[in-house]
Amino acid sequence: MSAKSTILSLPREEYVHPGTRACSGCGLAIAYRVGLKALGEDTMLIVPPSCLTVLQGLFPVAATKLPCLNVTFASTAAAATGIIAALKTQGNDHTTVAAWAGDGGTSDIGLQALSGAAERGDNFIYFCYDNEGYMNTGVQRSGTTPAGAITANTPFRGKPQQKKDVPAIMAAHHLSYVATCSAAYPLDLYDKVKNCLDYPGAKYFHIHIPCPPGWGYEPRHGIKIGRLAVETGYFDLYEIINGKLTLTAASEKLLEKRKLVPVREYFRAQSRFKVLTDEQIEEIQKQINEKWEGYYSTAG
Q: Which 63-122 residues touch another protein, going by CB under 8 A?
A: 63-72, 74-75, 77-83, 85-90, 95, 112-113, 115-116, 119-120
Rounded Cα distance, 276 and 55, in Å: 32
Rounded Cα distance, 198 and 176, in Å: 10
Residue 106: count other Cβ atoms within 10 Å of its Cβ: 32
Site string for another protein, 15-44 (x = CB under 8 A): -xxxxxxxxxxxx-xx--xx------xxxx
Q: Residue from 220, 253, 274, 286 that binds another protein (CB under 8 A)?
A: 220
DSSP-based three-state secondary structure for 205: strand
The smaller minimum CB distance to another protein, of residues 224 and 287, is found at 224
Q: Output the smallest distance, CB 291 to another protein, in A.
A: 28
Q: Output the smallest distance, CB 180 to another protein, in A.
A: 19
Residue 130 CB partners (closer than 8 Å, separation 6+): 102, 103, 106, 144, 166, 206, 207, 208, 209
Backbone φ/ψ region at 127: left (φ over 0), alpha (ψ -120 to 50), beta: beta
The smaller minimum CB distance to another protein, of residues 155 and 294, is found at 155
The phi and psi torsions of 79 (rounded to 5 degrees) equal -65, -40
The smaller minimum CB distance to another protein, of residues 53 and 195, is found at 53
Region binding another protein by CB under 8 A among candidate stretches 148-156, 157-165, 214-222, 279-287: 214-222
Region binding another protein by CB under 8 A among candidate stretches 6-14, 151-159, 243-251, 279-287: 6-14
Region binding another protein by CB under 8 A among candidate stretches 61-69, 148-156, 236-244, 259-267: 61-69
In terms of DSSP bridges, do strands 238-241 and 177-182 run parallel, antiparallel, or are they unpaired?
Answer: antiparallel
